[in-house]
Structures are given as structure tokens and as C-alpha cells.
Amino acid sequence: MTTHTMTGPVIATRGLTRHFTTRKHTVEAVRGLDLEIGQGELVAFLGPNGAGKSTTLRMLTTLIPPTSGTATVAGHDVVSGQREVRRAIGFVGQGNGAGHVQRGRDELVSQGRAHGLSRADAHARADELIEDLDLSAVADRKVSTLSGGQRRRLDIAMGLVHLPRVLFLDEPSTGLDPQNRANLQAQIERLHASTGSTIVLTTHYLDEADALAERVIVIDHGTVIADDTAQSLKSGLGDLLTIGLVDDIDATVAAEQAARIDGAVVERDHDVVTVRVAGGHEIAPGLLVELDRRGMAPRSIEVARPTLDDVFLNLTGRSLREAQEQAVGATDGSTTTDHSNHTEEAA
């Protein structure tokens, strides 16, 4: 699939930092980010609200300048080469790219013209995208009358008009119902497969990062805390066995038994034992046989493969949901009770 001739990373950041100052109190939204993303990669920035994902994206798309550090996108500096960067990228922000008083088709044509397509090409490209993104029925209606899912598809179409070398999507599936989310993921995958574009998206949906991205960059408090494939992020964690026994006594014995397994982390809560261990799905049958041999009949057993939520919990000591809730109101553990909601997402 490597049809491109670019060498070196298509996105590179060095010490990329962004502070926001509101009412004498400074929020360090992004702190010294060092990243390299190669041509054709499909990368997800995963993290809770306020983690710095969107601020990073806004710097990479030239919307805000870094406080310090540098970033290059498609070979151009995001500050000194703003216009060159804008010509190389597509951007689907959190809002709607198409104006609400406009018609979708008009906006697609206008966007194509902005990217230097001839009038005829811009119309042809708009037709193509309207067809591909299933917008034929609504393309000639006022954007404000479209449903959330239709508008989001139009946003994606807007970002794809010029088949950008690098496509940024800021929380593309927020506000979509599960069916539209699945559709959107399929769209992104097909786009990636058919164009070889580099795609960077932010999400706080674990399943989305998991399903979509080849590489997951976990961001928390403005820094990268993990950067790997979803698979290897999870494989380091092991599976979670949850075994229910008839009483506390049995559970204590079972916990002792489980603790003999190499590398297992065992906890007991009354009559329930949890075992965190790599390859748990292969270990579970043997453990059951052993418990049976000692005269114990477990009530239940559950084997859960690790999720990215477990990864996040393991990395930060808090679940993604907790981190999400923390981000509402105060930011970055600041002691001031600033409810201005001035996380980077609000910018």
C-alpha cells in the first residue's frame, strides 16, 4: 500500500507545548510532546477530556501556535509554513465544517475550489462524495435541517474533498448513535485502505481506538503515557479471571491456589476471587480442574480479555471514566475552582 514517495515522518513534534492562561492561572494543556508519525499510519489519540488531545490537534492543524517546541506536518513547520500545511491536510473538527445556513453540496464545491480544484472538478468531486457518504437525499437541503449523523457524514466529506495527504479528525464519532459510529469507522477504514493517507483521530471511546487504529497514543495531562499497537498495549496486561465460589473459606483456598500461577495478581473479595494473568483463557481450564481436585465447585467463572480501559487504569491508576469526570470543572488538578470549562476542548 506504500505508493507514496515521502521519506521520514509525516508528522514530527519536538517538545511541543501549549499553555492557556485564563485569569492569572495557567493550564499546561500539552507538555513537551515528542511524536513521530509515518506516512500512511492510522493513529488514535486516546485520553479523557482535557488530556490535551484536541490542543495537540489544533496545533498540528495550524489553528493555534505552540507556546514552545516545534511541529512539522507534511514537511512544513506549523508556524512558519502554515499555508503549506493547510494545503496538505484535511481537518474534521468537533463542530460542523459546513455552514448551517448553507447547502451541503454548495459547501463541498466551495471547499474544493478553496483547494484549487476547477469548477468542473469541484462539482464532480462533490457528486462523488455525496454518493459515497450516502448524502444524496440531503445534499441540496439547508445544513441546519440535517440530522446529527447526516451532518457528521457531511463533515467527513468536507475533510476528504481534496484527498488530503494527512487527515485529522477531532472526535469524529461524538454524538453519533452506535449504528452511525460503526458506519463512520467503516468509512475511515476504507478511506485509509483506498488512499494510503495518514489519519490521526482523537477519541475517548476505547472501543473506537481499539477497532480502528493501528497505533494508539494514550495522552493524559498533556503528555504521552503510552504509544503502541492496541494489541501490545493490552497483551502486557493479561486477562482478568473472575471466579465465584460458594463461600469465603473456599475462596481463600482458591486464592492461594491461584497465587501459585506464575505472574498472577490475585485478589479476593468475600467469595469472589479475581486473577489478573497473561494468557488467562488458557490457564482457566487447568485452574478449574485443580479446584475440582481439591473438592471445590466454583459457582461461576468469567474470562475477560483486557480492554483499553484496563490499559488506561493500569497506566494512570484511574479509570477513563473517572478521569473524564475529573476533567469536568477543574483542570489538571488545579486547586482553584475555575468552572469556566477552559479545557482545551472548549477553546
Partner 1 sequence: MSTAVLTPTPVRQTTPDSPVNGFWADTWNVMTRELKPVLREPASVLFAMVQPLVFLGLFAPLLPETPDGSALQWFVPGIVAMTCLMGASFTGANLTNEMLTGSHERLLVSPLSRSSLLVGRALKEVVPMLMQTAIILLVVTPFSFDLHLGGVLVGVVILSLFSIGVGALSFALALASRDSEWVFWTVQQTLIFPVLLLAGILLPLDGAPRWLEIASDLNPLTYVVEAVRELFAGNYPIDTIAAGFAGSAVVAALGVCIGLRAMRNSS
Residue 164 touching partner 1 (CB under 8 A) = yes
d(CA 35, CA 23): 31
Stretch that binds partner 1, among 80-88, 231-239, 282-290, 320-328 (CB under 8 A): 80-88
246 is a contact residue toward partner 1 (CB under 8 A): no
Closer residue to partner 1 in complex, CB, 195/307 = 195
C-beta of 132 vs 290, nearer to partner 1? 132
Nearest to 320 by CA among 210, 231, 212: 210
Residue 57 burial class via C-beta count within 10 angstroms: exposed 0-12, middle 13-18, buried 19 and up? buried
Closer residue to partner 1 in complex, CB, 165/234 = 165
Q: How far is the CB of 185 from partner 1 (least distance, A)?
A: 11
DSSP conformation class of 41: -
Q: Which of 75, 329 has the CB closer to partner 1?
A: 75
Based on the shown chain and the rule CB under 8 A, indicate whether residue 54 belongs to the binding site for partner 1: no
Enter the C-alpha cell of residue 204: 475517548
Does position 187 interact with partner 1 (CB under 8 A)? The reply is yes
Residue 315 three-state SS: helix
- Which segment (46-54, 184-192, 207-215, 289-297) binds partner 1 by CB under 8 A? 184-192
The cell for 251 is 475462596
Does position 343 interact with partner 1 (CB under 8 A)? The reply is: no
Residue 195 touches partner 1, criterion: CB under 8 A: yes
Q: Which one, 58 or 234, has the nearer CB to partner 1?
A: 58
Among 193, 249, 265, 297, binds partner 1 (CB under 8 A): 193
Q: Cβ 93 to partner 1, closest distance in Å?
A: 5
State which of residues 33, 133, 241, 273 lies at the interface with partner 1 (CB under 8 A): 133
Which is it for strands 76-77 and 89-92: parallel, antiparallel or unpaired?
unpaired
Nearer of residues 149 and 280 to partner 1, judged by Cβ: 149
Q: Is 103 in the site for partner 1 (CB under 8 A)?
A: yes
201 binds partner 1, rule: CB under 8 A? no
Q: How far apart are CA 309 and CA 257, in angstroms?
A: 28
Cβ burial, residue 264 (10 Å; 0-12/13-18/19+): middle
- Distance between CA 51 and CA 204 in Å, rounded? 10
Q: Is 191 in the site for partner 1 (CB under 8 A)?
A: yes
Query: Which residues in 142-163 are b (16+ Cβ under 10 Å) and which e?
Result: ebeebeebbbbbbbbbbbbbbe
How far apart are alpha carbons 241 and 223 in whole angstroms?
Answer: 32
Binding status of residue 174 toward partner 1 by CB under 8 A = no
Residue 181 dihedral angles phi and psi, to the nearest 5°? -65, -45
Burial group, residue 182, by CB count within 10 angstroms (0-12, 13-18, 19+):
middle
Task: Please tell me whether residue 111 binds partner 1 under the rule CB under 8 A.
Answer: yes
Q: At its nearest, how many Å lie between partner 1 and the CB of residue 68?
A: 17
Residue 165 binding partner 1, by CB under 8 A: yes
Interacting residues of 276 by C-beta distance below 8 A, sequence separation 6+: 237, 238, 239, 240, 241, 264, 265, 266
Q: Give least dist CB 190 to partner 1, A.
A: 4
- Which position among 97, 104, 238, 280 is part of the footprint of partner 1 (CB under 8 A)? 97
Type of residue at 86: R
Which residues contribute to the site for partner 1 (CB under 8 A)? 1, 3-4, 39, 58, 61-64, 74, 83-84, 86-89, 91, 93-103, 106-107, 110-111, 113-116, 128, 131-134, 155, 158, 160, 162-165, 183, 186-187, 190-191, 193-197
